[in-house]
């Protein structure tokens, strides 16, 4: 059996909106193994982004037990979560969220700076070449197209060699062609490099490229299916 | 890439805002440096002025002592006159080491200062004047040929201003009198540089003040006998005794009382600058909520974020400190001119002395100010929760 990376046991996330309690994630069980490509799909408000934030150690569960890399993170403090994020988790966001004052290369180097490994700068350059931006490393985000920015963001997420890549609607702000390029990059990362990828998407195409699609509604899983496209 | 370049690049994003904030710090630092430089410079110049008068005691006609002190510093007389008998009487006092009578008079010359007109100070002195000021040297020429000669010796600056050299003639229009320039003094760095000297008797004659004196400068054999000496002259009618130590103290007091006010202005300027810095950085932190969130998502710790924001604040204050020091150095002469107009008495030497240690001190002060101002914005930024920061505005 493949290596278990994430094990969620009856996890819930509750927000208080005025007097009302909203269960964004409701009593959910989930296991993710090494090498998987999982897509969370579902309507807006189904809790997929919240689930992604929790699994990616950006947010904490309200109840239940969450183990990541065999470590119980349910009760960890922010300062301990950051250590897990730093070396094991890469994040890609719908709005790219690059630092506008830094060049493509500097954006990719930034996680190395925070992780205390500035000596691995060559890796940042290599990753930008890998996503097809070798010639644009000194451009600022505003000088890049949406698709190019997202590719910079992917390089940034990968620079610390994480065990899992999380992506929140990575093609949500892109045209079809750029979205397709991003899909292909994810495919390659998963198939060739064996990188575990977990993402949320509305994009059917991206969804079907995943090895496993998890449909969510009202914070719970309504169906799990193995994609027929992938072997 | 280093953390500091992340901070620096962010400051360059809003150049005008950053520039204005740096300007605020710079002005506060410049004001502080100028004021402190003035403090040091004024004391030094005033002390130099008074010490170079050569006498410790001045006897003048009775009048407002402050006015007398001021006028006397400007030229050795209160421009109230006393009888020469006073001099004849006290000159025999055994406690006196040196004594010199003076007669100061002023004349308005409409041609002075490029036609604006100005006051020229003339002073009648006797041979004993030179004994009290042994450092007085001639740049050219020599002392008067006689004690009633129609001759003048001109102070260094007055000579430069009037373009006179030994051998020239000068004309006093109001008196319709022409005198011969026999010498020019070297620069002394005191008020003497601006005075036109002539023999005492000549002054008494041409200004029509026979037998009158405006002041008597005295050097005692023993400064400890000062109060004793003052007391013995107390009953003399129509005169007063002023000790130079008192004059110095009086002027220092006048200046230091206004100093309390200027210092509080400097303090307020700094306070406003600090508030400005906090406001700017805090605003920029809130604008960057998402960026800060994403930095945390990609591995920045609280300390990392704190350092970035703290560095930004400190950079602003460092740049402000350097700029403020430069402004203070460049602005010295302007500050001097303003102060000269405002002060009741301004010594001749440099009024504002800016030393390297003052510059260094103010720079360190600016850095400390930056570190202090940065704490709260940096704390706010570092305690943002990543998910809330990233998802804000959605």
pLDDT score, position B339: 78
Contact across the interface for B13 and A97, Cβ inside 8 Å: no
Task: Give chain B positions within 8 Å (CB) of A47.
Answer: none
Q: In terms of CA atoms, which chain A residue is nearest residue B297?
A: A58
Of A59, A56, A78, A79, nearest to A14 (Cα)?
A: A59
**Mutation for testing the B interface, residue in A84, A87, A99 having most B CBs under 10 Å:** A99
Of B150, B256, B156, nearest to B198 (Cα)?
A: B150
In angstroms, rounded to a whole number, what is the distance separating the alpha carbons of residues B72 and B213?
13
Scanning chain B, the segments in alpha helix (DSSP H) are: 3-11, 15-51, 65-75, 84-90, 128-132, 156-162, 200-206, 226-232, 244-287, 289-297, 302-342, 356-382, 386-391
Task: Give chain A positions within 8 Å (CB) of B295.
Answer: 99, 110, 114
Residue in the structure block whose two tokens are 């000579």: B159
Residues 6+ apart with CB under 8 A from B279: none
Return the higher-pLDDT residue of A92 and A210.
Answer: A92
Interfacial B residues in 282-311 facing A (CB < 8 Å): 290-291, 293-302, 304
Q: Where are the domains of chain B?
A: 2-48+251-392, 63-237
Contact across the interface for B390 and A110, Cβ inside 8 Å: no
In angstroms, rounded to a whole number, what is the distance separating the alpha carbons of residues A164 and A34?
8
CB distance from A97 to chain B under 8 Å? yes
Contact across the interface for A102 and B6, Cβ inside 8 Å: yes
pLDDT score, position B68: 57
In angstroms, rounded to a whole number, what is the distance separating the alpha carbons of residues B387 and B394?
12
Residues 6+ apart with CB under 8 A from A11: A25, A27, A28, A29, A30, A54, A61, A63, A64, A65, A66, A74
- Please return the burial class of B141, using the count of CB atoms within 10 Å of its CB with bins 0-12, 13-18 and 19+: middle
Of A222, A202, A191, A198, nearest to A212 (Cα)?
A: A198
In angstroms, rounded to a whole number, what is the distance separating the alpha carbons of residues A140 and A107?
9
Task: Give chain A positions within 8 Å (CB) of B301.
Answer: 79, 82, 114
DSSP class of residue B354 equals -
Tell me how close the Cα of A91 comes to any Cα of chain B, in angstroms: 7
3-class DSSP assignment, residue A166:
strand
Partner residue facing B298 (CB), from A79, A91, A102: A91
Question: Of the given ranges (A157-166, A173-182, B236-245, B319-328), which has the lowest mean pLDDT?
Answer: B236-245
CA B111 remoteness from chain centre: 29
Task: Give chain A positions within 8 Å (CB) of B7.
Answer: none
- Are residues B180 and B152 in contact, defined by beta-carbon separation less than 8 angstroms? yes
Contact across the interface for B294 and A97, Cβ inside 8 Å: yes
Of B292, B278, B280, nearest to B383 (Cα)?
A: B292
pLDDT, tens only, A45-97? 888 999 999 999 988 899 999 999 888 998 888 888 888 888 899 999 999 99
Partner residue facing A101 (CB), from B10, B293, B302: B10
Question: What string of pLDDT tens digits covers the 394 residues of chain B?
Answer: 788 888 988 998 889 999 999 999 999 999 889 888 888 888 788 777 777 777 888 888 777 656 656 665 655 444 678 888 888 888 888 888 889 998 888 877 776 666 666 778 888 999 888 888 877 888 888 899 888 889 999 998 888 888 888 888 888 877 888 899 999 998 887 778 888 999 999 999 988 888 888 888 888 888 778 778 888 887 777 788 888 777 778 777 777 777 788 788 888 988 999 999 999 999 999 999 999 999 999 989 999 999 999 999 999 999 999 999 999 999 888 888 887 777 766 776 777 888 899 999 999 999 999 999 999 999 999 998 888 888 876 5
CB distance from A138 to chain B under 8 Å? no
Contact across the interface for B1 and A99, Cβ inside 8 Å: no
pLDDT score, position B69: 60
What Å distances lie between residue B377 and B16, B284, B320, CA to CA?
20, 9, 19
Contact across the interface for B299 and A114, Cβ inside 8 Å: yes
What Å distances lie between residue B249 and B37, B77, B310, B394, CA to CA?
20, 19, 46, 70
Name the token pair of B38: 């003035």
- Are residues B145 and B151 in contact, defined by beta-carbon separation less than 8 angstroms? yes
Tell me how close the Cα of A231 comes to any Cα of chain B, in angstroms: 31
Crossing angle of the two packed helices B15-51 and B356-382, in degrees rounded to 10 = 150
Tell me how close the Cα of B283 comes to any Cα of chain A, in angstroms: 17
Residues 6+ apart with CB under 8 A from B119: B106, B107, B108, B109, B112
Contact across the interface for B387 and A53, Cβ inside 8 Å: yes
In angstroms, rounded to a whole number, what is the distance separating the alpha carbons of residues B33 and B327?
9
Contact across the interface for B9 and A86, Cβ inside 8 Å: no
- Please return the burial class of B234, using the count of CB atoms within 10 Å of its CB with bins 0-12, 13-18 and 19+: exposed
In angstroms, rounded to a whole number, what is the distance separating the alpha carbons of residues B103 and B208?
11
């Amino acid at each position: 059996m493949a290596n278990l990376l994430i094990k969620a046991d009856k996890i819930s996330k509750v927000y208080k909106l005025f007097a009302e309690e909203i269960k964004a994630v409701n009593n959910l069980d989930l296991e993710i193994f090494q090498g998987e490509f999982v897509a969370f799909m579902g309507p807006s408000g189904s809790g997929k982004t919240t689930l992604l934030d929790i699994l990616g150690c950006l947010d904490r569960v309200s109840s239940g037990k969450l183990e990541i890399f065999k470590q119980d993170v349910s009760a960890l403090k922010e300062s301990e979560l950051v250590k897990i994020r730093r070396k094991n988790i890469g994040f890609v966001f719908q709005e790219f969220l690059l630092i506008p004052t830094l060049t493509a290369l500097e954006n990719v180097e930034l996680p190395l700076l925070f992780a205390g490994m500035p000596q691995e700068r060559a890796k940042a350059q290599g990753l930008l070449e890998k996503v097809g931006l070798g010639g644009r490393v000194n451009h600022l985000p505003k000088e890049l197209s949406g698709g190019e920015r997202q590719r910079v963001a992917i390089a940034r997420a990968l620079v610390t060699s994480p065990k899992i890549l999380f992506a929140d609607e990575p093609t949500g702000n892109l045209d079809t062609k750029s979205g397709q390029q991003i899909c292909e990059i994810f495919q390659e990362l998963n198939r060739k490099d064996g990188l575990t990828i977990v993402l949320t998407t509305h994009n059917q195409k991206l969804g079907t490229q995943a090895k496993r699609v998890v449909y969510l509604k009202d914070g719970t899983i309504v169906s799990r299916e193995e994609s027929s496209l992938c072997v | 890439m280093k953390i500091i370049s992340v901070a620096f690049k962010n400051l360059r994003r809003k150049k005008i805002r950053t520039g204005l904030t740096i300007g605020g710090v710079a002005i506060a630092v410049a004001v502080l440096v100028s004021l402190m430089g003035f403090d040091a410079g004024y004391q030094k110049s005033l002390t130099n002025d008074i010490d170079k008068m050569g006498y410790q005691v001045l006897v003048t006609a009775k009048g407002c002592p402050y006015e007398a002190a001021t006028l006397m510093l400007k030229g050795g007389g209160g421009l109230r006159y006393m009888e020469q008998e006073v001099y004849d009487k006290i000159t025999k006092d055994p406690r006196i080491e040196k004594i010199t009578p003076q007669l100061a008079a002023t004349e308005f010359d409409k041609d002075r200062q490029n036609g604006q007109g100005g006051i020229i100070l003339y002073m009648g002195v006797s041979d004993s004047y030179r004994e009290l000021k042994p450092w007085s040297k001639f740049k050219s020429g020599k002392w008067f040929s006689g004690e009633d000669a129609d001759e003048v010796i001109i102070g260094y600056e007055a000579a430069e201003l009037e373009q006179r050299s030994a051998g020239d003639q000068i004309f006093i229009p109001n008196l319709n009198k022409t005198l011969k320039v026999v010498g020019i003094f070297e620069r002394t760095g005191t008020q003497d540089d601006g005075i036109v000297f002539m023999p005492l008797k000549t002054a008494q004659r041409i200004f029509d003040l026979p037998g009158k004196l405006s002041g008597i400068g005295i050097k005692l054999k023993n400064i400890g006998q000062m109060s004793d000496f003052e007391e013995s002259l107390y009953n003399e009618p129509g005169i007063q005794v002023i000790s130079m130590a008192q004059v110095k103290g009086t002027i220092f007091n006048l200046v230091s009382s206004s100093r309390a006010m200027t210092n509080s202005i400097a303090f307020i300027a700094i306070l406003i600058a600090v508030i400005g810095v906090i406001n700017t950085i805090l605003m920029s932190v809130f604008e960057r909520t998402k960026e800060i969130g994403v930095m945390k998502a990609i591995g920045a710790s609280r300390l990392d974020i704190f350092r970035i924001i703290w560095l930004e604040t400190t950079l602003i204050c460092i740049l402000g400190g350097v700029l403020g020091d430069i402004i203070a150095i460049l602005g010295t002469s302007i500050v001097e001119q303003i102060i000269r107009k405002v002060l009741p008495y301004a010594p001749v030497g440099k009024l504002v002395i800016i030393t390297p240690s003052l510059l260094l001190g103010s720079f360190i002060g600016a850095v400390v100010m930056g570190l202090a101002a940065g704490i709260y914005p940096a704390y706010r930024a570092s305690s943002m929760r990543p998910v809330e920061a990233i998802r804000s505005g959605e």
